[in-house]
Amino acid sequence: MTQQNKKAQTTQQQKEQDYRQHVEQVTPTYSLTWQMIKAFIMGGIICLVGQFILNYATTRMGLDKETAASWCSMLLVLASVLLTGFNVYPKLVEWGGGGALVPITGFANSVASAAIEYQKEGQVFGIGCKIFTIAGPVILFGIVTSWGLGFIYWIGSLLGIV
């Protein structure tokens, strides 16, 4: 090996070592246990609010359970969209992680945030075309899975299995 090759190899190794050190410095470290606790708390708070709405609608407003559940869903979606619009929900997601993203409020947040982000491109080519960029795959795979499971159920009922 020539002197020039050894020098180039040493330089490459030094660059790799510097890069690894840089990555270790800028990569945030998280406690998985603490993240899970915060997600549990955040999801619990959202569910607590939903249960409060359900209880209030059934006991105080006299609605049946199905209507109360519809109102609960609509109010949670509305709250999520409003909090997204005022840039509060992203902070809740940053703190609570998956606890804020998994429920119906997280789905509403994904649709509202895409609409807010692309509104500058116009009503049709901005909001209309890109509103479901995040939520679209969820809707698509939900529909396809529902259709597939429904087809399996239908075949099972024809064969007398179900």
Q: Which two tokens stand for residue 29?
A: 């470290």
Can you give the C-alpha Rg of the chain in angstroms?
Answer: 25
Q: Is the CB of residue 79 less than 8 Å from the CB of residue 53?
A: no
Q: Which two tokens stand for residue 56?
A: 């209030």
pLDDT at 117: 78
Question: How far is 51 from 13, CA to CA, in rounded Å?
Answer: 58
> Mean per-residue pLDDT for 122-143?
76
* pLDDT tens per residue, range 68-123: 999 999 999 999 999 999 999 999 999 999 899 877 888 888 888 888 877 777 77
Residue found under tokens 């809740």: 92
pLDDT tier, 1 (very low <50, low <70, confident <90, very high otherwise) = low
> Mean per-residue pLDDT for 139-152?
90
> Mean per-residue pLDDT for 138-151?
88
* pLDDT tens per residue, range 25-61: 888 788 889 999 999 999 999 999 999 999 999 999 9
